[in-house]
Amino acid sequence: MYNIVYIPGDGIGPEVVNAAMRVVDAAGVACNWQEAHAGLGTFEATGDPLPEATLDAIRGAHATLKGPTATASGVGFRSVNVAMRQKLQLYANFRPARSIPGIKSRYDDVDLIVIRENTEGLYSGIEHTVVPGVVESLRIISSKASERIAKFAFDTARRQGRKRVTCVHKANILKLSDGLFLESCKKIAADYSDIEFDDCIVDAAAMKLVIDPHQFDMLVMENLFGDILSDLTSGLVGGLGVTPSANVGDDAAVFEAVHGTAPDIAGKGLANPTALVQSAVLMLRFLGEKEAADRVENAIRQVIAEGTSLTGDLGGSAGTEDYTKAIIAAMG
């Protein structure tokens, strides 16, 4: 029995979280689901978008499944996602992008992974006004965090049978900070002679991904570059509505949908839960439930390929309920 925290989030969050939980239960994995709260609704109700009780619950669970959370203009709190990653030291963001038959995109056979350092860079949030009209933001890069994320990337590559890890950087311009990140990756790469290593400047990597994503296998990079390129790679296979995300640390792991809260359709039963169900697949693999994870992932791909029970954003007319039922039925 796994103790799993679920965070409904805002907007369509409760609907997609409910769908993902039902699919996990239908896969035969015994879970003790514990509800916790974060986001704009939590801020409005309690004055705190990320209560300490939620952080404690995540620390005490085997894993956490999180719906999308919102902010609002003029509301003075940091991104819940950034704060959660830093407070829980969820230093590794894992974003696979794999083509799904039935989803039209430029390429049919993309299969790559972006590994993003989650705790440093410009998202450290260290900024101040120097003089009126001038703001300074500090971009923090340390050898400790850089070597840690590089090791995570190589360990993941070895575990998943990946052949090559590419360090994405801007060391030609940011010679100290990105120079340190690149050197840290090279240092770790020396311990993995079975995996090819190379590097690519970030703007060139963006261009190459658009021209031919098959040039890459696994990419590792600092925080801001990872935020941008992981969305780009999602776009290569259908967008944020169908791609998963995992945030992993030494003591906690949070699996989430990184798309928006879609307030215009919230509560209408129209939301597409694919991204969070895919994230639940990553959660099951993290827990060691490989067979259940494969069953869920294969069911998603079968339902989308058949095309008869798709939500509106995927080109169909089904609602969240019918689409979720179709995935469960496809699992047998």
Judged against a pLDDT cut of 60, whether residue 258 lies above it is answered with yes
Is 170 among the residues known to form the active site?
yes
Identify whether the C-beta of residue 36 lies closer than 8 Å to the C-beta of residue 5.
yes
Mean pLDDT to the nearest integer, 266-275: 97
Identify whether the C-beta of residue 69 lies closer than 8 Å to the C-beta of residue 51.
no
Rounded to 5 degrees, what are φ and ψ at 51?
-60, 150
> Out of 6, 199, 227, 323, which one is annotated catalytic?
227
Q: Verify that 114 and 83 share a domain, yes or no.
A: no
Q: Verify that 167 and 132 share a domain, yes or no.
A: yes
* Residue that finishes a domain, picked among 216, 236, 256: 236
Q: Does residue 13 belong to any structural domain of this protein?
A: yes
Which structural domain range is residue 155 located in?
106-236
Give residue 329's identity as a one-letter amino acid code: A
Q: Does residue 95 belong to any structural domain of this protein?
A: no
* Residue that finishes a domain, picked among 219, 236, 253: 236
Is 250 among the residues known to form the active site?
no
* pLDDT score, position 108: 87
Q: Verify that 114 and 231 share a domain, yes or no.
A: yes
Q: Does residue 267 belong to any structural domain of this protein?
A: yes
Q: Verify that 222 and 188 share a domain, yes or no.
A: yes
Mean pLDDT of all residues in the chain?
A: 95
Q: Verify that 112 and 226 share a domain, yes or no.
A: yes
Q: Does residue 268 belong to any structural domain of this protein?
A: yes
Is 48 among the residues known to form the active site?
no
Neighbours of 28 (CB within 10 A): 11
- Block residue for tokens 């079975």: 194
> Out of 217, 231, 294, 322, which one is annotated catalytic?
231
Mean pLDDT to the nearest integer, 196-204: 98
CATH number of the domain enclosing 255: 3.40.718.10
Is 123 among the residues known to form the active site?
yes
Q: Verify that 122 and 219 share a domain, yes or no.
A: yes
Closest CA to 102 of 237, 278, 231: 237
Q: Verify that 167 and 270 share a domain, yes or no.
A: no
Q: Verify that 80 and 16 share a domain, yes or no.
A: yes
> Out of 6, 66, 151, 170, which one is annotated catalytic?
170
First to last CA, the chain: 22
* Residue that finishes a domain, picked among 201, 236, 271: 236
Mean pLDDT to the nearest integer, 201-218: 97
Q: What does DSSP assign to residue 50?
A: S
Task: Report the C-alpha gap between 116 and 209 in whole angstroms.
Answer: 16
Q: Verify that 279 and 215 share a domain, yes or no.
A: no
Q: Verify that 231 and 159 share a domain, yes or no.
A: yes
Q: Verify that 121 and 80 share a domain, yes or no.
A: no
Judged against a pLDDT cut of 80, whether residue 71 lies above it is answered with no
Task: Report the C-alpha gap between 320 and 309 in whole angstroms.
Answer: 10
Does the pTM surpass 0.85? The reply is yes
Summarised one tens digit per residue, pLDDT across range 287-329 is 999 999 999 999 999 999 999 999 999 999 999 999 999 999 9
Judged against a pLDDT cut of 70, whether residue 72 lies above it is answered with no
Q: Verify that 227 and 111 share a domain, yes or no.
A: yes
Q: What angle, rounded to 10 degrees, do the helices at 274-286 and 290-306 form?
A: 160
Task: Report the C-alpha gap between 281 and 288 in whole angstroms.
Answer: 11
> Out of 6, 10, 91, 123, which one is annotated catalytic?
123
Angle (CA) 164-237-156 rounded to 5° is 30
Domain count within the chain: 2
Q: Does residue 98 belong to any structural domain of this protein?
A: no
Is 109 among the residues known to form the active site?
no
